[in-house]
Amino acid sequence: MVDTAEQQREQLNSGTKEVAESHRFDEAALAAWMEANVEGYAGPLEVRQFKGGQSNPTYQLVTPTKKYVLRRKPPGKLLPSAHAVDREYKVISALYPTGFPVARSYGLCTDDSVIGTMFYVMDMVEGRILWDQQLPQYEPAERHAIFMAKLKTLADLHNTDHEAIGLGDYGKPGNYMGRQVDRWTKQYKASETTHLEEMERLIEFLPKSLPAQERTSVVHGDYRLDNMVLHPTEPRVIAVLDWELSTLGEPLADFTYLLMNWVNGGVSQIPDLKAHGIPSIDEYVAEYCRLTGRTGLHDLDWFFSYNMFRLAGICQGIVGRVRDGTANSPQAAAMAERVPLLAKSAWTYAQKAGA
């Protein structure tokens, strides 16, 4: 049975709408920029706004022969280091020639005078964006194939030689988890609206208990089912979207974020994974290890605690944007309810990890 909350989420986030009043810009100025900078562009241009996304406003650019996607920094007061669309542009431009599934990029505009904020333009990749992690509309074999395709694509990213494709300077070397804990602590504190004891304990525990970083790779930072486009009919990822949080770092941060599905996401609600066609957490770990040449994974409870702490920080950031009047989603206020639940869960795993 399809979860109505997931159905509502899909309806709220799928497709396009008229451009929101607060996100409008000079479309003639954009058309002139496209004419000058986008190979093969031919107007007239129609601009629509995608419904989904809490963070960077994303637009569909429709021309008579082709559709493009524009991602921009939102207008207004922003948290430091957030909304780095220039970084998104850099990483997809480097990955695209390797055959890794990302949209082709066409150009980055750092001149705020064109539409008011920095933006970039890329291909619109047509396919399936799936929202419900339980994949209720598919048979078990198809479900299994989609789950394995999602995993294979992530392993391919982590196996990519970032130095060889010009991303050697895409992040700082080493201590990724330490910097992430520090980053999300700062973002949480900058957006804090309520004092939560569990968050205070996590802020103290996580930096003191960092696992050793054994590998460095490009990490996506928000790798999940609804941030990818699947082939219209095949169980194959044809584009990974939303690279806003990507950097160089600990690949296990990405992989354990994907595992959150089994911990407190849609997969955790399924009583019989095998009958449903979904691999168990142990099978997923074993396959990831096989694909990336590992003998096993360490510190899973620590990573689960960190991932929930980070999600609490992300949700609190959205709550803070509601407070500051810059939130890009009518659902953003609902995030306030999630923060204390995530904090409690994160502290439970921290205790399992030795807190």
Is 292 within 8 Å of 155 (Cβ atoms)? yes
The CATH number for 4-123, chosen from 3.90.79.10, 3.40.50.300, 3.30.200.20, 3.40.1390.10, is 3.30.200.20
Average pLDDT over residues 108-129: 94
pLDDT band at 198 (very low <50, low <70, confident <90, very high): very high
Output the furthest CA–CA distance in the chain (Å, rounded): 61
Give yes or no for a cis peptide into 44 (omega within 30° of 0). Answer: yes
Q: What is the pLDDT of residues 219-276, one digit of tens each?
A: 999 999 999 999 999 999 999 999 988 999 999 999 999 999 999 888 999 999 999 9
Among the listed residues 75, 74, 60, 65, the one whose alpha carbon sits nearest the alpha carbon of residue 30: 60
Please, are residues 206 and 350 in contact by the beta-carbon 8 Å criterion?
yes
Distance CA 297, CA 294 (A): 8
Give residue 336's pLDDT.
82
- Measured over the CA atoms of residue 6, residue 11, residue 16 and residue 20, the dihedral's sign is negative
pLDDT digits (tens, 9 = 90+) for 61-97: 999 999 999 999 887 765 555 568 899 999 999 999 9
pLDDT of residue 329: 64
Please count the residues of the chain. Answer: 355
* Tens of pLDDT, residues 299-314: 999 999 999 999 999 8
Question: What integer pLDDT is reported at residue 238 of this predicted model?
Answer: 98
Query: Which residues have CB under 8 Å from 168's CB, separation 6+?
Result: 162
CA distances from 238 to 127, 220, 320, 328 (A): 8, 16, 34, 27
Q: Look at residue 334 in the predicted model and tell me its pLDDT.
A: 77
Domain with CATH 3.30.200.20 in the chain: 4-123
Between residues 173 and 43, the one the model is more confident about: 43
Q: What is the pLDDT of residue 80?
A: 53
Least Cα distance to 100 among 110, 88, 112, 92 occurs for 92
Whole-number pLDDT of residue 193: 86
Specify the CATH number of the domain 140-352.
3.90.1200.10
pLDDT at 264: 86
Supply the pLDDT for residue 83: 65
* Arithmetic mean of pLDDT, 190-217: 94
User: Is the model more confident about 321 or about 235?
Assistant: 235
CA 183 – CA 190 distance, rounded (Å)? 11
Return residue ranges of the chain for CATH 3.90.1200.10. Answer: 140-352
pLDDT at 7 over 70: no
- For the segment 42-56, the average pLDDT, to the nearest whole number, is 83
pLDDT exceeds 70 at position 10? no
Between 145-159, 322-336, 339-353, the lowest mean confidence (pLDDT) is in 322-336
**Which of 28-32, 44-48, 233-237, 327-331 is the least confident region?**
327-331
**pLDDT grade, residue 1 (50/70/90)?**
very low
Q: What is the pLDDT of residue 331?
A: 67
Other C-beta atoms lying within 10 Å of the C-beta of residue 64? 9
Q: Which residue has the higher pLDDT, 178 or 16?
A: 178
Percent of the chain with pLDDT over 70: 91
